[in-house]
Structure formats: structure tokens, C-alpha cells
Amino acid sequence: MAPKATLREERGGQRPAGRAEEAAAHVSRLLARLEPGARLGTKEQVRTTCGVSAGTFNVTLRLLQERGLVVVRPGPGGGLFAPEGPPGPGAARHDADDEDAAAALRDAFRVREAIEPLIIEDALWHGSPADFAELREFTRAMGEAADRSDGTAYVHAAWRFHARLAAISPGPLLRDCYLRAQEVIETRTGAILPDGEPAEGFLRRRCELHAALVDALDRRDREAIMGLLGEHNDG
């Protein structure tokens, strides 16, 4: 027997898939405010804040996990957690000294830059209001980090922004290729993230560029998007 809908679902008359997306947007907003690896709460606690049935919340968790936005751990002390940061400094420094690792990093940047216009194009044509709402939560987290001149927190929020952007693409090969390149970049650069910012106002300008990109996607302004993408890659 299918689980009963909550009172909010019955009143709203929404299909479970729509409620799951709405709940995913809510949970992603909460996760965006956490430090990497921080615990959000138990599965039941978070489900209650969303006001959805158990079945709908399972769909929500699957959506978030597919997008790389949440880690679910069972057992005592388990629950929902923000994704962990990249490997520790020792491993990353060792990789940085390795010639093959350096070559892999260069390749990852080349691949990401080459296919990013396709990721943006997919977001332009397939992005939904829920997608753009989640992206704005990440730009908000980036802005908060910029206000603190916290370079490490900013980069982590930016990584989550790009992972969520890639998740919009309906093409699994394109999406997986982009995310794999991003994974290499995160792994190889995790130990050398800046504590502050390279120049005064740099993080704020980058944050505003990402926010403008989301706004342009939301209004389907392709010309503005291409201009912003050029600025992004030049920066």
C-alpha cells in the first residue's frame, strides 16, 4: 500500500514528484549553510521540517544524493550530512608533487572548460524554477563566505554550485564527464585553498558573476549567459 500523503500534500494537490523537488530545494538550502561534513539532523527530523510523507522524502533523498548534495549515514549518530571536503593536506601535497597528478589536474581544467558551455546550454533549456532556487542558495553561501573573506568556504560553496548546475543536464555522459573533471580538481587542489582572497573584493565580484548567471538562466537570456561565461572563464 502506498504511504498516505501528508495533510500539506492533500491540501496542495501536488504530485509526489513535485513535493519531492520542493523538499529537496528546502533541504539543499539548509545544507548550503553547513560546513563540509557537518550533520544536519536525523532523517526523521529533516523529513518533519519538510512536511512530506516518508515515501516522498525517500524520493527527495534520492534526488539530493544523485546531485551529490547530501550524505546519508545509518545507525547511531547517523542522519543527513553536508558532503565531506576533499582529502586531507598530506595526501593532496603528495599528489601535487607527482608529475602524473599535475598532468591530470591540467587535463581536468581543460575538460571542464571545454564542456562547460554545453552544461550551461542544458541549464538554459532544461533548468526549472526549483533548480534556479537551489543555485541561488549556493550563491548566497558564496556571498556569506565572501563577506568573511573566507576563501576556503567560498571555494567549497562554488564547487557545490557547479555540481548542482551540472545535475540539470539530462545527458548522463556529459554530466558525468563534467563531474569527474570537477572531482579531480577538488581532490588535487583541496590542500592549497586560500584562507583569504587574492585581491580585495575578488570573492564578492566572483559571487556576483555567479548570481548574474543564475538570473540570466532564469530569464532564458542566452546572449547574457554567453557573456557571463566568458567572464567566468577569464577570471
pLDDT of 106? 82
pLDDT 10s digits, 74-124 = 888 889 999 886 444 443 443 344 466 667 778 888 898 899 999 999 999
The confidence score (pLDDT) of residue 194 equals 55
Dump the DSSP string for 35-59.
PTT-EEE-HHHHHHHHT--HHHHHH
Which residues neighbour 125 within 8 Å (Cβ) at sequence distance 6 or greater? none
pLDDT of residue 193: 54
Please tell me the distance from the alpha carbon of residue 100 to that of residue 86, in angstroms, as a whole number: 19
Instruction: Give residue 93's pLDDT.
Output: 42
The confidence score (pLDDT) of residue 170 equals: 93
Query: 3-state class of 33 per DSSP?
Result: coil
Indicate whether this model's pTM tops 0.85: no
* In contact, 132 and 217? CB cutoff 8 Å: yes
Mean pLDDT, consecutive 10-residue stretches, the chain (235 aa), reads 36 54 85 88 90 84 84 88 62 46 79 92 95 95 91 88 93 90 77 58 91 96 90 68
User: What pLDDT does 234 receive?
Assistant: 62
At residue 133, the pLDDT reads: 95
The per-residue pLDDT for 26 is: 85
Could you give the CA distance from residue 179 to residue 164 in angstroms, rounded to a whole number?
Answer: 10
Q: Which CATH class is domain 89-234?
A: mainly alpha
CATH 1.10.10.10 is held by the domain 7-81: yes
Q: How many residues does the chain have?
A: 235
Write down the pLDDT at residue 85: 60
Q: Where are the domains of the chain?
A: 7-81, 89-234
Return the number of other C-beta atoms located less than 10 Å from residue 10's C-beta.
10
Instruction: Indicate the residue type of 59.
Output: V
Q: Please tell me the distance from the alpha carbon of residue 93 to that of residue 54, in angstroms, as a whole number.
A: 44
Amino acid at 39: R
DSSP 199: S
How buried is residue 215: exposed, middle or buried, by Cβ count under 10 Å (0-12/13-18/19+)?
A: middle
pLDDT of residue 99: 62
For residue 95, what pLDDT is reported? 39
